[in-house]
A and B are shown apart, each in its own frame.
Chain A
């Protein structure tokens, strides 16, 4: 069972498109994360939301825009992406943002044409 649900599973988009990735968890977790993972590499942190407030933005280009509408939902808005942005985008959640296990979703595999 995957307790963190991500949609879509796959996404192909052109460099001028606008799309959004969605993440949902119903575990009552108050911290949610976006990671980017390239092949054969560990996940790379992009954003952290703690109690629905953006806590960390790891110098991510502005073509990635996160949003946390409520404690269960996390979105990642994409615009004018580059081919090098093709990767697996993982959402994770944890009970709080302090030394807690993070539970990952299955990810969205993004391809930029």
Chain B
């Protein structure tokens, strides 16, 4: 079955710097990769996703890149702000299967 690894487990950056979180997956059949942000005590919220026929997707300060050959995908947050502080989960989804979540990255943006 699918296995998703996520690094780093914790990340601290200064406000205004960039943050990068990387995930690797094992099942080459996976074709959908969402990213969720979960603030303390709140629900996971979809922030961006990418499908296997696309190499990169951007939405304002957030971007996701996918390398199918290497089986990894990354979340890039530019110009970080304190409200970006949260736990971020990546997930991989093979056709007909449910999401497999990564273990999460706790991002702290220091003012």
Contacts and interface: CB of A to CB of B under 8 A. Distances in A.
Interface size class of B (residues with CB under 8 A): 20 to 34
Interface stretch (B14-22, B72-80, B96-104): B96-104
Given A48-B98, A98-B96, A41 B104 contact: yes
Given A99-B31, A101-B34, A43 B96 contact: no
B46 A101 contact: yes
Given A42-B102, A56-B98, A102-B99, A90 B44 contact: yes
Nearest to A58: B98
Interface in A16-50: 33, 40-43, 45, 48
A105 interface: yes
Contacts of B101: 42-43
Contacts of B46: 101-103
B25 interface: no
Interface size class of A (residues with CB under 8 A): 20 to 34
B50 to A, nearest CB: 11
B33 to A, nearest CB: 10
Interface SS of A by simple majority:
loop
A90 B96 CA distance: 21
A48 B87 CA distance: 24
B49 interface: yes
A99 B89 contact: no
Contacts of B104: 40-42
Contacts of B95: 98-99
B28 interface: no
11 contacts: A42-B101, A42-B102, A45-B99, A99-B51, A99-B95, A101-B46, A102-B34, A102-B46, A104-B44, A106-B42, A107-B43
Interface of B: 31-32, 34, 36, 42-46, 49, 51, 87, 89, 93, 95-96, 98-99, 101-104
Interface of A: 2, 33, 40-43, 45, 48, 56, 90, 98-107
Given A45-B99, A99-B31, A101-B34, 9 more contacts: A41-B103, A42-B103, A48-B98, A56-B98, A98-B96, A99-B32, A99-B93, A101-B46, A102-B99
